[in-house]
Amino acid sequence: MTGAGPALSGKQVWQRLMAGNLRFVQGLFMRRNLVDLRRTLSQGQQPEAAVLCCSDSRVAAEIIFDQSLGDLFVVRTAGLVLEPTSIGSLEYAVAHLHVPLLVIKGHECCGAVTAAVEHPEVDEGHIGAIVRQIAPAAAQARQSGVSGPELVEAATEQHLRALAETLRRQSPIIGEALDAGRLDLVVSKYYLNSGQVLTLNATF
Ligand SMILES: [Zn+2]
């Protein structure tokens, strides 16, 4: 979608990403001339969305949405946990690259969420910092009475929604862009087997 036509709204960008996800699900990937694209993009980038997603090797946003070089500004951390540098990266995409859409894309069977559910006390290197950030969502999900894999999925969805609130609250840049209507935010979840991304929440 690089540099094509007039600027799109956040909703239009999401529709394009979902169309890309459908191509991914069906295995009908868009053909691209990556050499030409690489040369064009050497002049600068104009991505159409910022994406916060997990470091899990199975969930790369560019592949899942059938996008290419220059399309997505992606921040990946295990379990999508936030820290000042990852929030700052998203702020850069909003304030300086003027992306109209911020996507939080979690996924099914997330190892970081599973760890927060099963071993919230883990204290190995810096891994504990990841788990501690997800633990409140896991504790809240547990109150709904579910257990096992269902608890992991409930905790994941709780965590993803909490991330949206955290970004809005901790980042005046993101919060003000959302309030001014310059930015839309989608909370979504990727399913490993089907390949589908489902929308959990959207500002449009
Ligand atoms: Zn994960």
pLDDT at 5 (0 to 100) = 54
Instruction: Determine phi and psi for 72, rounding to 5 degrees.
Output: -125, 140
Tens of pLDDT, residue by residue over 124-145, are 999 999 999 999 999 999 999 9
- pTM given for the model: 0.95
Distance 160 CA to ligand 1 centre (A): 11
In the sheet where 49-53 sits, what is the strand order? 72-76, 49-53, 101-107, 184-190, 197-202
Distance 154 CA to ligand 1 centre (A): 14
**Structural domains of the chain in order of their starting residue, each with its CATH number:** 10-110+172-202 (3.40.1050.10)
Residue 3 has pLDDT above 80, yes or no: no
Cα–Cα distances in angstroms (integers) from residue 183 to residues 47, 142, 170, 180, 198, in the given order: 13, 33, 16, 8, 20
Distance 58 CA to ligand 1 centre (A): 9
